[in-house]
Structure 1
């Protein structure tokens, strides 16, 4: 039975982060499946705005609210007026970054309060943190998540972590809808590609640690004739460019900025490199696997064992270790590409249709 007829999604803006892209992908599919879908945002600025389908309504706050240290608290108050006017059955938060907005929205009064659902898009706990600090961080996120009627984890390991941080809270597990339903599994190709292209796609921000990616690239043998392509934009562009010049690899490192679709670049890539400090369920790794591209990644997510079910798919190395990352890249480039069967084992779990349907079933149950 359709109980959740109207779903509202809160977005700070239309930046090109994974949480935003996944939220828009779900919004478009839910609209195609006959639900009324509204995106409530602080501003319509951002390259991902063009991804929103015609069947999805977008409501923007007035005054426009761009990112700042206090903007999420402001949006908790400013979005309340739009939520009251839209009167959705479900209010969906697409990730941890938006939990602060949800926390302030939870303090507002509504004639008909929507059901609050939030996806947990990043690991809740980070390694190397002292027990006292971890306890304070756990308490802070429990406070932020308190208004949520349901929290959604993206994998079994992330669900287990959520259970330890949010005891007694309602929790569900739904796989990330990373891939279109009709995606084709590529045929495996041989390794030893001449002048291989190493691809990174990430916001140029500290979390992604692209300095380590550039330093690892500089450690590669010159005879490999590799090239490094970093897709994305962010505040660290200048520092990354200076580091590439300092290491003498600037002529082989390209940073063209944001691109609307990573698929054409994956089709050219010999290897995908992720150097992040932390990630939730890194969707871009699944996209790389779907394209048949081998991976080297840092140990940035609890979910990596669930993504790398076969050693054919790639290698996981410790963070901030350029030499180890470079060695893993060389070893990985010498191997054959992943087989179709190894790729399909991952792609079958991340189709948009199944995830969108599972979310709607959850929403209908919560709205009953």
Structure 2
């Protein structure tokens, strides 16, 4: 196994048809490189066959080098490695995983005491044991995903809790409408999201410049949904990003005293479009995001989504400090 650094063009050609995150797309990685800087794209080869991919931000500050995938402060919860074994047999898949992991760790000098390594893996990367065996900390995290393959809008709506169904109905009865918007609407969604997070003491780190770049660059891989009153006043909105097979909640959905059930209707329209819009025909899951905090879990579970695990890999407790420091450096 040997590791090569790929160009953005080569990376796009190397991606499999499915099984990767929106953060793995070359469009997203180009945006990230413009704002986080220092994006490196690693490809693992067995002979001439590409079998593994890992994007990361590689940053050297003072006497330490941090390899982080994804970097904090950019609204990306998952990134990490992609495996592309050529055999479906479990043993051979495990060998590819182990050899690719070992080659990556050696390439980035991850065991060096001056190297800090942190990866938040996608839900499709289900076997982090090679990192555990190599001495890294592995922790589980959860995201909520709603499976939408081979179903209908009626069945999905019926699967919602009574509270969620009532919220959708009440919003429609109140004359709230949902439509897709452009850059100005994306700014309204961003401002509402940032204001709410800051009110909660979270100090939301994602910048508008980065968000705008995503909206302008991702094309069909991003949509801005806006909920308005019958008079056209902004109530709420959600920005959704897409991989080849999943839609992801990115920003918005903030609850205020005046927006009523707008968010229930927003999520429902997003789900309806995934089920009925031919342009989204390959999308079969909707990822509602963070399922680790109890209040969020209580809200998101009413859409009948399931908690799906993914893994956080890091080189030790010092990595927590570096992640905080990296946010300060980036902003």
Under a length normalisation based on structure 1, what TM-score does the superposition of the two structures give?
A: 0.30
Report which structure shows greater RCO (CA 8 Å, sep ≥6). 2
